[in-house]
Chain A
Amino acid sequence: MEGETLDGQPSVLIVDPSEETREVLRTALERRGVRTFLAQGAEPGLKLAQQNHPDLVVLDLELNAGEPEQLAAPFARQSRVEGTSLVMLGTLRRGRGNLPPGEFVPKPYHYGPLIRRIEEILDTGPRDLARSA
């Protein structure tokens, strides 16, 4: 679990098992003046979300060996409660219940468009929360 706090900045929580992905997103976002919180797993990720109330959560759906639907559910609840945006990396299978509100970025993705979209959401708020992959 890693993270920094600098008041008055937009903030993003990155929950991703890959140290490289966390590092790339952190470097890119911090250069754009975004505060980042990093977590490798779902549980510490949720804890960070509850403690720091980030404006946006980037969640890798292949975090655990379990079902991605089950993984996304508590983050979706947290996002609804906090009114924050959720960007999920990977896809959920259709027909497996309600899709959590948020955006899906299928893998493998390019970092440029992902960073731009994160900035866009941070600037203007989510455009269409119900959009799915």
Chain B
Amino acid sequence: MTRRRRATVCDRLGPGRPIAGDSSWGVSAVPSLFVIRGNDQGTRFELEESLFRIGRDSASSIQVHDTEVSRQHAELRRSDEDFAISDLNSSNGTFVNGRRTQRHLLSSGDQIQVGRTLMLYTGPADASEEDLTKTISITSVEPAEEQSHIIHSVKHEESSEIFGGEAEFPQNPWLARARSNLQVMYRTALAVSHTLDIDQLLHRIMELIFEWVEADRGCIMLVDPQSKALQPKVRRTREGVRSDEKISISKTILDYVTERNEGVLTSDAREDERWNPTGSIVKMGVREAICVPLRGRYDVVGAIYIDTHSSPQEIIRKGGTTKFTEDHLKLMIAIAHQAALAVEDTRYYSAMVQAERLAAVGQTVATLSHHIKNILQGIRGGSYLIEMGLADHDETVIDKGWNIVEKNQKKISDMVMDMLTFSKEREPELTQANINDVVGEVVELMQVRCGELEIDLQWRPADDMPDMVFDPDGLHRAVLNVVTNAVEAIGETEQPGKIDVQSKYLTEKTLVQIVVIDDGPGIPTDQLAQLFSPFASSKKSRGTGLGLPVSQKILNEHGGRITVASAPGRGSRFTLEVPVTLPKSTSQTTAHADTEP
């Protein structure tokens, strides 16, 4: 029937094959670059050739619409299966995973930044992957000698209990501390795995830190992706500590932490005066702080800061022992790394969702614009003929023009109806009717068009079709779209053809089938899966790409479905199945010849 191809936002596919709206951003046989930030967000470039040039220039095989990108910015050259990126002396540099680079061999997951555009590289799928199903099998019957039985089981929520039971090691404080640290890490891992909201995630991390360490105040700062400045996101104070007190963090320390990627433990006590009773400590106490970078896979995304204050009395009582130790610092670094990975993942996921959404919107707009442009062209043609006929006083030409205008008016009305049906959540308007009448109307409506295209449109209604409860307007549209699709598919071949429309009442299944069989070009197997996806149409000048998805939606609303079988070169068969709901008043009396008493 119809040939289908992936639609593109860019009007032409070039060597870099920019493809938008492709949601298959998982593993693919072809390496690709997917723009996750920047003006081209949502565009995917499939890297099928060996050499690509990234640049602002329109001759670039990967053209990036970014004023901070040089005309010829960087080059991608195939190196075995993967690609190596080389900077072409660009003004603003090429960055891989946040680091400026001259040449870098890319591996899957690498982030490439040129100007303000951030792209994700996905390498080719590993074709050499071993088929593990050959060496591992899941069997329902085990050999008698290998029969195993369950001797113990642990629920998921009980798994953290491995870190409990401190009483087992009362004599070993080191072991107890190590186990406590492990528990903190386990809980951090749980916290970061349960959310996709960054603010929520940071609050959890802060709570966790406060449960484990005796901190008075704490805050988490994130680097703003645009301004690159650290911005506070979460602040927490221990109960009993003044919460309106401003936390002042030394910029020198923050810069040290984020630039050198090292965690620091600080104290405002000077070594020489620490135990001097006349020193400031005894008067003011000591403020200790830990500041650690949020270092993720690609970059430092922020910092965590906690501090604590010991009063002079506390210091004297404890004999000068500090509250924060190197162990605390090490564990904070580990927690921060976990949190940073989660922040990066969440940002990456959001960017992906946003990019996919933009791509889908772009694709929708491109497809609709194309269709509207064709309708406009038709109306202009019709108007031109009418004008010409009026000038020449030739009614035949006026008629011809008017027909074209009317056809296009119908096209735009169909398109609007399809868009409304597709976009709205709606309940079918159920009423009693006969499905043969509905399908018969569609066939009658399509006869003129079929005559023009030399298509023999046959209609064979089931004799025993009962009245049913369904949405006649909805099913009319569903059948009309399927028949229209068949007509257009045959029309594209420029050959005469045949369409056979049948209705069947399957009493044993309480199901009605409407079958539309055409002898058109058929649908290639690889395009069958996309057939009911919106805007997947290959019919360049005709369909909106919404016809079949709308039919499917209407059938689903009725609890039915559409199936399709196709043999390329021989034709296609669409089967629309509607479950039968007989009208209450007639179901016991006139439903069907076979069921009548």
* Nearest-Cβ distance from residue A68 to partner chain B, whole angstroms: 7
A111 near B381 (CB under 8 angstroms)? yes
Check A68/B59 contact, CB under 8 A, given A27-B397, A28-B384: no
Q: Indicate whether A20 reaches chain B with its CB closer than 8 angstroms.
A: yes
Check A1/B385 contact, CB under 8 A, given A62-B541, A94-B58, A107-B373: no
B400 near A27 (CB under 8 angstroms)? yes
Kindly identify which residue among B373, B388, B407 contacts A31, using a CB–CB cutoff of 8 Å: B388
Kindly identify which residue among B12, B381, B407, B541 contacts A68, using a CB–CB cutoff of 8 Å: B12
Residues on the A chain within 8 Å of B14, using CB: 93, 96
Check A41/B494 contact, CB under 8 A, given A31-B392, A62-B540, A112-B384: yes
Q: Indicate whether B297 reaches chain A with its CB closer than 8 angstroms.
A: no
Q: Indicate whether A9 reaches chain B with its CB closer than 8 angstroms.
A: no
B385 near A17 (CB under 8 angstroms)? no
- Docked complex: B442-466 residues within 8 A CB-CB of A: 452
With A and B bound together, what is the CA distance between A44 and B404 in angstroms? 24
B12 near A67 (CB under 8 angstroms)? yes
Interface size on B, residues (CB 8 A): 31
A18 near B374 (CB under 8 angstroms)? yes
A20 near B540 (CB under 8 angstroms)? no
Q: Indicate whether B5 reaches chain A with its CB closer than 8 angstroms.
A: yes
With A and B bound together, what is the CA distance between A98 and B235 in angstroms? 62
Q: Indicate whether A64 reaches chain B with its CB closer than 8 angstroms.
A: yes
* Nearest-Cβ distance from residue B385 to partner chain A, whole angstroms: 6
Check A23/B541 contact, CB under 8 A, given A108-B380, A111-B381: no
Residues on the B chain within 8 Å of A41, using CB: 494
- Docked complex: A83-121 residues within 8 A CB-CB of B: 93-96, 107-112
Interface size on A, residues (CB 8 A): 31
With A and B bound together, what is the CA distance between A20 and B540 in angstroms? 15
A65 near B384 (CB under 8 angstroms)? no
B381 near A20 (CB under 8 angstroms)? yes
Check A95/B59 contact, CB under 8 A, given A27-B385, A67-B12: yes
Residues on the A chain within 8 Å of B388, using CB: 27-28, 31
* Nearest-Cβ distance from residue B449 to partner chain A, whole angstroms: 10
Contact flags (1/0) for A33-66 with B, using CB distance below 8 Å? 0000000110010000000000000000011110
B404 near A20 (CB under 8 angstroms)? yes
Residues on the A chain within 8 Å of B392, using CB: 31
Q: Indicate whether A129 reaches chain B with its CB closer than 8 angstroms.
A: no
Q: Indicate whether B3 reaches chain A with its CB closer than 8 angstroms.
A: yes
Q: Indicate whether A130 reaches chain B with its CB closer than 8 angstroms.
A: no
With A and B bound together, what is the CA distance between A111 and B400 in angstroms? 15
Q: Indicate whether B377 reaches chain A with its CB closer than 8 angstroms.
A: yes
Starting from the known contacts A24-B401, A111-B384, 8 additional A-B residue pairs (CB-CB under 8 Å) come to A1-B494, A24-B384, A27-B388, A31-B392, A65-B540, A67-B13, A68-B12, A95-B59
List 24 A-B pairs, Cβ < 8 Å: A17-B540, A17-B541, A20-B381, A23-B381, A24-B385, A27-B397, A28-B384, A28-B385, A31-B392, A31-B397, A40-B494, A44-B494, A65-B5, A67-B12, A67-B13, A68-B12, A69-B12, A93-B14, A95-B58, A96-B14, A108-B373, A108-B376, A111-B384, A112-B384
Query: Which residues from chain B sit less than 8 Å from chain A, CB to CB?
Result: 3, 5, 11-14, 58-59, 373-374, 376-378, 380-382, 384-385, 388, 392, 397, 400-401, 404, 407-408, 452, 494, 538, 540-541
Query: Which residues from chain A sit less than 8 Å from chain B, CB to CB?
Result: 1, 17-21, 23-24, 27-28, 31, 40-41, 44, 62-65, 67-69, 93-96, 107-112
